[in-house]
Structure 1
């Protein structure tokens, strides 16, 4: 016997007020979009605090669960059977059939947890608990009741129809993507920035991304690595429009004109300026980076302040307080780690200074940037006008 229905539970959405329906509708839309990639026909519906997925054809159970586990806003996935209200005696038969079908080994402890959402139902929740517990004990003598730590928690929800389930699979939590605006992710081939994009998307933010490519100093394989990372993050965030910027001429010009200990900071400042321009065109309201305080020279407090001064947009750094292992743990969980550690260098590592400044003065950085005035605006405009856009 295969489950034909799933109860989708949310958490944070439930504390919303009169606009809760907007978040529910966004979650329903996300579920429908994700299930399009799964073989089978599904109907996604909602009713007063509940979202249901009903299979209308044969499907792969594991494939559906994996798709649902990538949708932000879902707190739990409950495979269930949903039956019509054909009277109390019929409910007892359905519960007995459920236990018999889905538990081949009946040697387990259990508890019945009934909720009577339909207050017109003639039997209250406590009575349902007692009656169904007694039914299971008599039908399956191997079972035992344990109200504290049962092996099986049997949920029975009496609503317009009756939901019966006992498996609760954790979802990713968060908020449905698209309910909290759009931001632009500065995506590199490293470990940190894909994790940053994942974490911001988890808060309901739709993300675009920008990658700074430096051919011939970085290879096509390095670019493909970033495309692959964007595709992995898009499993959770939804489709990502990746902007690939040819940054070579800008980097070479900065390398030629500016003090080498300031290279990383000045290059980062121009990346932020270009990302801001692309954000304005795409409707993004903030920038996202994978920076963590103190991890490298360009991520000290002074360096981050100097970088932020190049843009008027808010800059979100969701891994700012994480140590490296914490970031690695998240990257392994979301499946980006193995791709991130592939040995293809990006533009930041190619042009890194031997002794980068760790406490830059903003006034000195701006003074150094004055040496770029002859050509830098033209180079930036060329980089923006020749951006390659890839949907991931």
Structure 2
């Protein structure tokens, strides 16, 4: 017998002829997550990946549960395809629960050469447990302990623990994108959802000193570090935005200031994305949440770019976004009381239904291309990683 972590994935199994590509990427991401754990190994089997954690199961689980593409992680016992070995492993696992319990056995026999079918395995293993452990009872509807047994090509695998993963697709199976990262609650959650679809992320933040403080930038850097713990290193672009915001405040009608500001941000982000070979922009906009997120506002802002703009939060309300931010570890950082440039100079009555012609007229007094070019030229880039991660990027 040996102890392994069985890695279960979901929609990767539906990818047909492309499935090996997705499996290889998931395996590579699992190895990256475990890279500094001595002797830990990742092995591929049909429909499953297996991790040998080298006796560091809990530490490995803490890392692997953040790897996109993983649906579930199961600390398992691997046995030979022998009935007695399977019964011994089942007894060991259920005894390890240290309490009387209602239990259920769920056997799955993908290797049809094994002499017992799934129903016979359920009965035989269940009877063995009842015979050797006091205080057990069978409960097929609401078991407290669910013993799962998989009969595969060369070995059997048994497990009772189920550690959920984030699901989705492995980061790296899609082209990279650029996240507009404000420092608020929404945009890092949008970045997380985008990575969940296999997209490697870079980020862009617009900084307006002296109106915004260095602590506002530190907040964004810390958010990138959290995202990096989920999806690998994040290249953070910090754009000097003071001159643009000052010009907007001076020359643009107040009610259209937010619209013009967002248009300028999109122009700059698209220029940076083109320079770095990124395939899309990502924002944390949620439909109708604020004035700049009405359908008319989104259309007027989108008008200045040709790249696709991904909005993973478009149908979520604020409470759903906050719940996700708390779950992924960004909420406590996002609510630090340091203003970003998006909260500066907000008018009392912003336009909620601007159109393209109004936006173009409002920014006619601005030297748009010169301001954009200057901001792009002054952008600083750094690579942010998960705390303690000194590894090379995987992409």
TM-score > 0.5 by shorter chain:
yes
Query: What corresponds to 1:92 in structure 2?
Result: 87
Q: CA deviation at 1:180?
A: 2.0
Of 107, 111, 119, which residue of structure 2 is paired with 1:118? Answer: 111
Query: What corresponds to 1:18 in structure 2?
Result: 17
Query: What corresponds to 2:26 in structure 1?
Result: 27
Is the aligned partner of 1:80 residue 2:76? yes
Is the aligned partner of 1:259 residue 2:258? no
Query: What corresponds to 1:212 in structure 2?
Result: 206
Is the aligned partner of 1:354 residue 2:354? no
Tell me how far apart the structure 1 counterparts of residues 45 and 263 of structure 2 sit (CA, whole Å). 49
Q: CA deviation at 1:3?
A: 8.2
CA deviations on 1:96-129 (whole Å, 9 max, x unpaired) are 23333x1222x11222222222222233222222
Poorly superposed stretches of 4+, deviation over 4 Å = none
Of 57, 61, 64, which residue of structure 2 is paired with 1:65? Answer: 61
Tell me how far apart the structure 2 counterparts of residues 49 and 274 of structure 1 sit (CA, whole Å). 43
Query: What corresponds to 1:180 in structure 2?
Result: 174
Q: CA deviation at 1:314?
A: 1.2
Aligned to 2:75, the other structure's residue is in SS state: strand
Tell me how far apart the structure 1 counterparts of residues 11 and 370 of structure 2 sit (CA, whole Å). 47
CA deviations on 1:65-109 (whole Å, 9 max, x unpaired) are 221221111111111111233x32233233223333x1222x112
Of 188, 196, 204, which residue of structure 2 is paired with 1:202? Answer: 196
Distance 1:354 1:135, change over 3 A: same
Matches within 5 A, 1:313-332: 313-332=307-326
Q: Is the 8 A contact 1:23 1:179 kept in 2?
A: yes
Tell me how far apart the structure 1 counterparts of residues 181 and 359 of structure 2 sit (CA, whole Å). 24
Gaps of 5+ in 2: 385-395
Tell me how far apart the structure 1 counterparts of residues 228 and 168 of structure 2 sit (CA, whole Å). 15
Of 1, 26, 39, which residue of structure 2 is paired with 1:41? Answer: 39
CA deviations on 1:209-267 (whole Å, 9 max, x unpaired) are 10001111111111111111111122222211111001111221222222222111111
Higher alpha-carbon deviation: 305-314 or 353-362 = 353-362
Of 48, 51, 58, which residue of structure 1 is paired with 2:49? Answer: 51
Is the aligned partner of 1:301 residue 2:325? no
Tell me how far apart the structure 2 counterparts of residues 308 and 139 of structure 1 sit (CA, whole Å). 67
Q: Is the 8 A contact 1:3 1:79 kept in 2?
A: no
Aligned to 1:200, the other structure's residue is in SS state: helix
Q: CA deviation at 1:335?
A: 1.0
Gaps of 5+ in 1: none
Q: CA deviation at 1:20?
A: 0.6
Aligned to 2:140, the other structure's residue is in SS state: coil
Higher alpha-carbon deviation: 176-185 or 222-231 = 176-185
Q: Is the 8 A contact 1:70 1:171 kept in 2?
A: yes
Aligned to 2:364, the other structure's residue is in SS state: helix
Tell me how far apart the structure 1 counterparts of residues 208 and 121 of structure 2 sit (CA, whole Å). 67
Aligned to 1:173, the other structure's residue is in SS state: coil
**RMSD of aligned C-alpha atoms?**
1.7
Q: CA deviation at 1:198?
A: 0.7
Query: What corresponds to 2:390 in structure 1?
Result: none
Aligned length: 383
Aligned to 2:336, the other structure's residue is in SS state: coil
The alignment's TM-score, normalised by the length of structure 2, stands at 0.93
